[in-house]
Structure 1
């Protein structure tokens, strides 16, 4: 998404404890007045950064959906077709464990909604 979760929540980047104790260029060049101005600027732009990251997330999810939907082949059922039904975890027979059937049926399609 381009932004860290910490940035999206608090409006500024976090500093890991190693940098705090050992010293870094970021800490050495720190000026309080500039930091306050930059923080106000970042807080003003925080909603925009959140919106941009949300848009990137939605675009990513749409790409993933398109990728997986390419593999799906639509097969319309007609009345009278024979179909199988996937066995769901709550309908599986517990004694069969891993070797149980994944599909059950043959069922006949009686109506299409």
Structure 2
């Protein structure tokens, strides 16, 4: 489709075909104006389809994620790469500590303290923590 009309094959230009016989300039221009009038509705329909697709993609992605949350008093381990990035290596342990959750700052974000009672100054996200089982 080119500029609202279908392209003609070179054979159709030289020989008459059904499309070239029934072509009417007024009907064609009326159809083009009707397409322009319906353009906003087409854009809205495409937007609705896109939003539906994004919602389905988000639901599919979220179905594979394990939701983790901790309560005050839970024991957790934290990633060594997040707390000390220079001390990571191939043969290093990936987790450190055991820390106690002392406050839920907001959903999935926590304040920690060591088992000796020292408060850790940063907040930690669930992605960087793992439950510690004794």
TM-score between the two structures when normalised by the length of structure 1: 0.56
Counterpart secondary structure, 1:60 = helix
Gaps of 5+ in 1: 1-9
Count of matched residue positions in the alignment of Structure 1 and Structure 2: 93
1:1-113 aligned within 5 A: 12=4, 19=7, 22=10, 28=20, 30-79=23-72, 80-85=74-79, 105-106=95-96, 108=99, 109-113=101-105
Gaps of 5+ in 2: 106-134
TM-score between the two structures when normalised by the length of structure 2: 0.49
Give the strand-richer structure, 1 or 2: 2
Change (3 A) 1:26 1:52: farther
Counterpart secondary structure, 1:82 = strand
Q: Give the greater-gyration-radius structure (CA).
A: 2
Give the helix-richer structure, 1 or 2: 1
Deviation at 1:67, TM superposition (A): 1.1
